[in-house]
Amino acid sequence: MTIHKEGYTTIAITILLIFVINAVVDYKYYNITLLRWFIYIFSAALFLIVLQFFRNPSRSFSNGENLVICPADGKVVVIEETEEGEYFKDKRLQVSIFMSPVNVHINRNPISGVVKFFKYHPGKYLAAWNPKSSTENERTTTVVEHKNGTSVLFRQIAGALARRIVWYVKEGDQVVQTEQFGFIKFGSRVDVFLPVGTKVNVELNQVVKGGITTLATLS
């Protein structure tokens, strides 16, 4: 396991903060043993929590010409037909994955193809399970066209804790299935919009792994 590059600055700031807090406590409260041990334990816990946010575990990724691979770790919270109003402007099959703070936060391309559309939207920070988060929160929308002509839309959505979305793609890019397309700091949600009638290979409340779990099969 390695640490993702998006975590370097946050981890450095955390280490500096821990050093300052512990130095102050050791200097001013050296005679209060209970307080010092509380700060030591809190500091260790804080460091480990931040470290796990940015972990990048080694994995053997799934792949397949007609497979849609899960773009994120988390739990499937939505499988339904809905109106996609930003790009397709018609009915699509939506599959949403909720990413908790303990999940790996790397986002991976669900299919290979050409990026036909990309847009970043500033917005609110509603809880990720709020239905309005898909259209009102800070988010990105990416559409990739598969070589068979099928387009898949996937959307990074910030939540109450996630305050920064990172993306690595732009329109015209040729992307490869399971390679990284972005990162959501401290969790949140990823929505995937598929053609109606697509065979979905996951169930509601199923725990999924980014780059490993097969989300759907394209016809």
The residues assigned a catalytic role are 188
190 Rama sector, left if φ>0, alpha if ψ -120 to 50, beta otherwise? beta
Total count of residues recorded for the chain: 219
Q: What is the DSSP string of 47-87?
A: HHHHHHHTEE--------TTEEE-SSSEEEEEEEEEEETTT
In 3D, which of 45, 13, 67 has the Cα closest to residue 217? 67
Lookup: tokens for 70:
């899960």
Strand, coil or helix: what is 22? helix
User: Rounded to whole angstroms, what are the CA distances from 100 to 13, 46, 96?
Assistant: 22, 17, 13
Strand, coil or helix: what is 194? strand
Q: How many angstroms separate the CA atoms of 107 and 210, rounded?
A: 7
The residues near 174 (Cβ < 8 Å, ≥ 6 apart) are 113, 114, 115
The residues near 217 (Cβ < 8 Å, ≥ 6 apart) are 66, 67, 68, 198, 199, 201
